[in-house]
Structure 1
Amino acid sequence: MIDWLPALVRTLAAGDSAVLLTIVHTVGSTPREAGTTMLVTPGDKLGSVGGGQLEWLATSAADALLEVGGPPRLLRFALGPTMGQACGGIVWLAAERIDTATQPEWQVRASAVEAGMGLRRRLSDTDGASGWTLSDPRLAGSGPDFAHLTTHGEHWCFSQQLGGDPFPVYVFGAGHVGSAVVRALTPLGTQITWVDGRAELFEAAGPQADNVRPLVTDQPTTQIATAPPGAYLLVMTHSHALDLELCEAACLREDFAFLGLIGSESKREAISRQLIHRGLHPERLDDLTCPIGIPGIEGKHPAAIAASVAAQILQVRETRMAIGHATHPGPDVPPLSSLPRPQ
């Protein structure tokens, strides 16, 4: 999810320019990784490049670009004692002004991203602005987000893939725990399909973020069948019988990223016996996580369960992404001596 994109389109449509602050490279310990982007608009900002003095200086540079304009700038920050930060690493950050005249182009990009497309970005030391192109996430090389800085002599080029990895999460159940889980997962880059047959629960929950799609249906197993490969499935309905149906439908697939069922060890045993009795091969149950949540958190409050579940899903996701990056490594990291000087 490109969380700053809708805000950028709204800002440009309102007649204001904005600045994208993007970390293009890091060395050593830093608070955020390459590819992290913060949007700075007149009087507001969305996201964070790491907080503290780093973010204050970066935001000040963005405010200057908003006031006087100019081409993209490359900034370098050593996060040591002179900056009042103890990370010890180094951050290279690009600051680029986006002018109101480009609003129609950004509207087209935003609509395409909402329809499932990704964005590719290229910015070099000789460019007056980034080049942006749409990418199809179904094609090779257009998958999970990446951000790479390459150098050649005194010249540099930053390339970035955004979107194309939608992080689909299906939450079955809109009770207290399901609602808490949706709230915990909403700001984490997820695309949430929230499924329940009780419309009044969604009405009570109120308006949802752009990345949450409440769905009222009396046939929730259909959503299991149509979920994209790599989806994260969380089963936490009010009915044991419905939980059983959803788990059976999920276990008939072998391409989901995670299947979690709320409940105890005894519930897992009961569900397992019933699924095996229905003909499911016992090995398929190895992919069922129940109880859900990271070990060591025993609290039963919905918010505590939600925090534990969100952390577990992030662990699974980052493990899968690390495996994917190891299988398809990016360009070599440039040596420190060749990295560009700040402008």
Structure 2
Amino acid sequence: MKRLIRCIRTDLESGKDLVLASIVKSSGSTPRSSGSKMMVRSDGSIEGTIGGGLVEALAQEEAAGLFNGQHGSVFFKEFDLSNELAANADMICGGHVSVMLEHLPADEKTIAAFTAVDEAMSKGKHAVMFTAIDGNTVREREAVRPCCQLPALLFADEAEATKLLEEALKSGTPVIEECGEVLLVAEACIPQPELFIFGAGHVSRPTAALASSVNFRTVVLDDRAEFANAGRFPTAEEIHVLDGFENCFSGLELNANSFVIIVTRGHLHDKTVLGQALKTPARYVGMIGSKKKRNAIYDALLAEGVSQDSIDRCHCPIGLSIGAQTPEEIAVSIVAELIQNRAG
């Protein structure tokens, strides 16, 4: 989502009108669920996906009508994947999706709305996009931070807006409600979970790159500036050069949606980081190493008073067992485990 929002902002700022296709409702078995988005440019090129195949191709065709004003500035398209459409496309999903296609003009208000969402997500913060639709026209578009005072929306009172905002954040999917003759859509823009990578060695590089590509906000930390730098980690959101691994979590804001992997250059550093990581509320803590190394570190931590329950939170050896050998293969196994954990 974050990468797509950044693409939308960049294209709008360069003066390019766009069409945004969003799945606002889905039922049954479908390629992508509610909230999935695809950006369509005037030349037909896309960013993001709403599932690929015939549905995506038809949505691209429909987008052309928004660029030339045939459909106004917004309309909804229904796709039944249990009928002839699915059969002709060799799709066996058997579900139903409703896609909202909206024209995004490269004007000041639209740019401001997507800039606000982009900046919030870049800081790991939530945002909600409100879109008010009157007939086939977008009358208002406003980005809202949940922690901030709601703006005075033209087509909804504060109680209605608050209710929609809370429902969107809770469900993580678009929420649609009729407010008189206006349709009000609230879409939650959820930031990527943060992945803190302690160690900037040969395994960390492909791990950070792969994690970024599957929507983790990566933060790399090491005590060696020659390793922890933007040249080696161009996709990392943050890079921290530490004085040492003692107190290495100082200044970091971890929460129950944070992920930590420990791939430093030595057992002593791994133990130092793990002892601190287990005191955080992180959702996932993983450490690279053999079972022998793991047991030695666990025994040392137990001797220092760390509880067995805390130690049991650690995934070690890290990653799914796929027979990985090279740094790139190990990165695949690690990120696969992160995705599995994120999916719940």
Classify the TM-score, shorter chain.
Answer: 0.7 to 0.9
Relative to structure 1, is the Cα distance of residues 91 and 176 closer, same or farther in structure 2, using a 3 angstrom cutoff? same
What are the equivalent positions in structure 2 for 1:328-343 lying under 5 Å apart? none
Equivalent position amino acid for 1:239 in 2: G
Correspondent of 1:72 among 71, 74, 89: 74
- For residues 200 and 62 of structure 2, the distance between their equivalents in structure 1, rounded to whole angstroms, comes to 44
Q: Identify if the C-alpha distance between structure 1 residues 67 and 197 changes in structure 2 by more than 3 Å, giving closer, same or farther.
A: farther
What is the rounded CA distance, in whole Å, between the counterparts of 2:132 and 2:93 in structure 1? 27
TM-score scaled by structure 1? 0.82
The AA in structure 1 aligned to 2:104 is I
Cα shift at 1:87:
1.9
Q: Which moved more, 1:102-111 or 1:24-33?
A: 102-111
% identity of equivalent residues: 24
> Aligned pair in 2 of structure 1 residues 204, 20: CA closer, same or farther (>3 Å)?
closer
Compared CA separation, residues 274 and 8, structure 1 to 2 (3 A)? same
Question: What residue is the counterpart of 1:216 in the other structure?
Answer: 241
* Correspondence for 1:161 among 159, 182, 188: 188
Change (3 A) 1:248 1:6: same
Shift of 1:150: 5.1
1:151 offset after TM fit, Å? 7.0
In the alignment of these two chains, the number of paired residues is 315
> Contact (CA 8 Å) 1:137, 1:143: kept in 2 or not?
no
1:11 offset after TM fit, Å?
Answer: 0.9
Residues 1:181 and 2:207 are matched in the alignment: yes
**Structure 2: runs of 5 or more not aligned:** 150-164
Tell me the distance in 2 between the aligned counterparts of 1:221 and 1:63: 57
Deviates more, 1:42-51 or 1:76-85: 76-85
For residue 203 of structure 2, give the secondary structure of its aligned residue in structure 1: helix
Match of 1:265 in 2: 291
Given residue 22 of structure 1, which amino acid in structure 2 is its aligned partner?
Answer: S
2:63 aligns with: 62
Over aligned residue pairs, what C-alpha RMSD do you find?
2.8
Structure 1 equivalent of residue 155 of structure 2: none
**What's the TM-score once normalised by structure 2's chain length?**
0.82
1:311 to 336, 339, 342: 336
Aligned residue in 2 for 1:121: 129
Report what 1:11 is aligned to: 11
- 1:284: Cα distance to partner? 1.5
CA distance in 2, matches of 1:258, 1:207: 22
Pair 1:301-2:303 in alignment: no
Q: Answer yes or no: is the 8 Å Cα contact 1:22–1:35 preserved in 2.
A: yes
- The corresponding residue for 2:34 is 34
1:193–1:50 distance in 2 versus 1, CA, 3 Å: same
1:46 is aligned to 47
CA deviations on 1:307-326 (whole Å, 9 max, x unpaired) are 2211211222221xxxxxxx
Q: Which amino acid aligns with 1:213?
A: E
Unaligned runs of 5+ in 1: 320-343
- Structure showing the higher helix proportion among its residues: 1
Cα deviation 1:283-318 (Å, max 9, x = unaligned): 221111101112x41222222221221121122222
What amino acid does structure 2 have at the position aligned with 1:257? R
Looking at structure 2, the residues matched to 284 and 138 of structure 1 have their Cα atoms a distance apart, in angstroms, of 36
Q: Deviations over 1:252-288 (max 9, x none)?
A: 33x1111100011111100011111222222221111
Question: 75-84 or 2-11: which moved more?
Answer: 75-84
